[in-house]
Structure 1
Amino acid sequence: MLDVAECELTPDDKELLDHPLVGGVILFSRNYYDQKQLAELIGQIRLSARNNILIGVDHEGGRVQRFRQGFSAIPAMGDIFNRSDEVMTKAERYCDTFGWLMAAECLAFDIDLSFAPVLDLNGVSDVIGDRSFHSKPEPLINLASHFITGMHRAGMKATGKHFPGHGNVKEDSHIAMPVDGRSLAQITELDMRVFTELHAKGLLDGIMPAHVVYPEVDDMPAGFSRVWLQTYLREKMNFDGVIFSDDLSMQGAAFIGDFAARAKAAMHAGCDMVLVCNNPNAAAQVIDSLPSDIPINPRLTKLAKAASGDLATLKKSQEYSSAQRLLAEYYN
């Protein structure tokens, strides 16, 4: 999965999209000017891609929402419980509705996935912070369950991140190599419990591991670790959904080597799709370094969006009107 440079495709973008190993595109704020332009860009991407690709975006709500003007302002997940006066039933209703609303608006533009929700505990990490629903596992699991249920009702699959948990390290893996020195027992009882229980409920379709080292378990970051991705995620948790790498351009991946080495290490560990963002030369290096006949993993096809109408159709629906009223209630 790679990105594109601007609000419309460049010749270089089109060349990369025609490569047999390109299975997805992730969109960023720089790819959005207005809704008409976004619809045209996504149409261009679909036409230029050789494969039936996945189109994704980080559209969690709060400070991580790539499209603003014309889209609903989804709140930060970490604010919902407090804004509900810590009344869980009220927070649950907000989470369900906002999960549906976020997903429904993205789906109306032919976007398959928002990489959401964040399932990290709100601990010491500034980069996670209010992206997390809560600081404790039980209420986090409950609120995230309702958010994902809303996403699923809209027709979007859910990708939980960042396995087995990024919230208890201070460093930001975008710019550093975080190390979490806790024991496996501590990680399992707190952070990983969220992923385990949501998976047991059948709610997780995809998982994105953290660029974090947990030295009491393995000396490799989770996204490059067969211990985490195979022994724990695939075997012990029996997870059979898609494993996405986090962005291989992040500093937390740099010690592995160049971009080709990072991609090969992530795939060897068990990632089904690797992300290379904000660096077209790196994306080209990765796809040129791999055999061009690698088949697309069948798991990925299960993440394609359900059939949905366009935005005009969505806005005429009763559920959309109800969601907008609840959103207005939330902010007032």
Structure 2
Amino acid sequence: MTPHAPLIIDVEGLSLTAVDRRRLKHPLVGGVTLFGRNWQDREQLTKLCRAIKKVRRDLLICVDHEGGRVQRFRTDGFTHIPAMRALGELWLNDGKRGEGAGAMQATNAATACGFVLGAELRACGVDFSFTPVLDLDFGESSVIGDRAFARDPRVVSLLAKSLMHGLMQSGMANCGKHFPGHGYVKADSHVDIPVDKRSLKAILADDSAPYDWLSTTLCSVMPAHVIYPKVDARPAGFSSKWLNDILRTQLGFNGAIFSDDLSMAGARLLDGKEVSFTEAAMAALRAGCDMVLLCNQSLDGGQAVDALIDGMTEAQLKGDWAPQEVSEERRLALLPRVAAPDWDSLMVQPEYMHALDQLP
């Protein structure tokens, strides 16, 4: 048995197929990411999550569920969480209560957002959401935009910490993204390879400051598919300098590191050469990632998912890549440690009802 299961894959539809189950049973698969196509209603989602856990209890069930335009489940009772920019705007609105009143209201609302978001997901069986976004809002990036709290890294850090406190209250871990910062570049790494030409000093003083200030609070981090040529020729998620030398050693982060989606354009070209999903996965893991994501590839037969699993298995057997026990410990640490109330119980929970009243 392998000491680590680094692959986070997806499943095709509303319920597990025999092929999905076969893939999820593979010892190199450590989790699954859910998307809008995996959602019909709460009952269906809950059954799907139970079926995944029946395959293997240790599988981490993940989703991109930040609020605003990045919220996979929006109907059948799920609360519409505001975009994080709404919290940043609330921070600036002191009203009649004096200087700083807006900041206090915003941090309270952020905690409420985190609790509602995490509690509703957990009531349906989802373990983990890739949130919060720690990117700064420079007003240039369409892919980040209102997903960011604010331009000021101090505001971002305090609002993110408040949101993470709410997630913790719901029993859910957190994931800061996209290290060291995606907000400065205009290009979208889903379809392009963004390049940020600023110096390391400038990035650390500004964009990366939240990762320093939140190093004792962050459970996991997702690096950006962005190239910072004054630091490394490779995107941050494939750079040992960024992940080991800067994030872990200089900034003191000890949690799990996820790659961003390996199917994004920003992950498909390394050192000027187009790479396969397996080559990209091994490059990310060697650079310091603990887990790698391959998203939206289970459709139409899922040949890409099978190729990645087979390729990683072959690489392990050949000794080209070796799983790390510390990475498995970091993965397992993201699983909820206490049982969550079911949906009906959550709806009458005083803490939940109070949090709903605090949302902006």
- TM-score, length-scaled by structure 2: 0.88
How large is the Cα RMSD of the aligned pairs?
1.4
Q: Which moved more, 1:6-15 or 1:34-43?
A: 6-15
- Structure 1 equivalent of residue 294 of structure 2: 276
> Looking at both structures, which has the greater relative contact order when contacts are Cα pairs under 8 Å and sequence separation is at least 6?
2
Amino acid at match of 2:211: F
- 2-side partners of 1:48 and 1:150: how far apart? 30
- 2:252 aligned with 1:242, yes or no? no
- 2:113 aligned with 1:82, yes or no? no
- Structure 1 equivalent of residue 310 of structure 2: 288
* SS of equivalent residue, structure 2 residue 293: coil
Please tell me whether the aligned partners of residues 112 and 356 of structure 2 are also in contact (alpha carbons under 8 angstroms).
no
Please tell me whether the aligned partners of residues 115 and 352 of structure 2 are also in contact (alpha carbons under 8 angstroms).
no
Per-residue CA distance 1:150-196 (angstroms, 9 max, x = gap): 11121111110000000000000000000000011110100011111
Alignment equivalent of 2:346, drawn from 314, 322, 327? 314
- Structure 2 equivalent of residue 158 of structure 1: 174
Amino acid at match of 2:58: N
Amino acid at match of 1:144: A
Measured after TM superposition, the shift of residue 81 of structure 1 is 2.8
- 2-side partners of 1:323 and 1:220: how far apart? 42
- 2:150 aligned with 1:147, yes or no? no
- 2-side partners of 1:167 and 1:94: how far apart? 23
- 2:15 aligned with 1:3, yes or no? no
Alignment equivalent of 2:203, drawn from 174, 181, 187? 187
- 2-side partners of 1:67 and 1:297: how far apart? 29
Alignment equivalent of 2:134, drawn from 119, 132, 137? 119
- 1-side partners of 2:10 and 2:352: how far apart? 30
- TM-score, length-scaled by structure 1: 0.95
- Structure 2 equivalent of residue 219 of structure 1: 233
Alignment equivalent of 2:120, drawn from 102, 105, 119? 105
Measured after TM superposition, the shift of residue 268 of structure 1 is 0.5
Amino acid at match of 1:91: A
- 1-side partners of 2:351 and 2:285: how far apart? 40
**C-alpha distance 284-99 of structure 1, shift in aligned 2 (>3 A):** same
Measured after TM superposition, the shift of residue 206 of structure 1 is 0.2
* SS of equivalent residue, structure 2 residue 260: coil
Measured after TM superposition, the shift of residue 126 of structure 1 is 0.8
- 2:260 aligned with 1:260, yes or no? no
- 2:59 aligned with 1:53, yes or no? yes
Per-residue CA distance 1:6-55 (angstroms, 9 max, x = gap): 11112221111111111000000110000000001111111124x61101
Amino acid at match of 1:235: T
- 2-side partners of 1:154 and 1:284: how far apart? 35
Please tell me whether the aligned partners of residues 179 and 215 of structure 1 are also in contact (alpha carbons under 8 angstroms).
yes
- Structure 1 equivalent of residue 334 of structure 2: 303
Per-residue CA distance 1:183-222 (angstroms, 9 max, x = gap): 11110100011111111xx210000000000000000000
Please tell me whether the aligned partners of residues 111 and 305 of structure 1 are also in contact (alpha carbons under 8 angstroms).
no
- Structure 2 equivalent of residue 170 of structure 1: 186
Amino acid at match of 2:161: S
- Structure 1 equivalent of residue 23 of structure 2: 16
Amino acid at match of 1:90: Q
- 1-side partners of 2:59 and 2:86: how far apart? 34
Segments of 5+ residues of structure 1 without an aligned counterpart are none
Per-residue CA distance 1:125-151 (angstroms, 9 max, x = gap): 110000000011111111111111111
Measured after TM superposition, the shift of residue 83 of structure 1 is 4.1
- 1-side partners of 2:32 and 2:312: how far apart? 18
- 2:126 aligned with 1:94, yes or no? no
Amino acid at match of 2:155: P
Per-residue CA distance 1:216-249 (angstroms, 9 max, x = gap): 0000000000000111111112211000000000
Amino acid at match of 2:49: I
- 2-side partners of 1:235 and 1:98: how far apart? 32
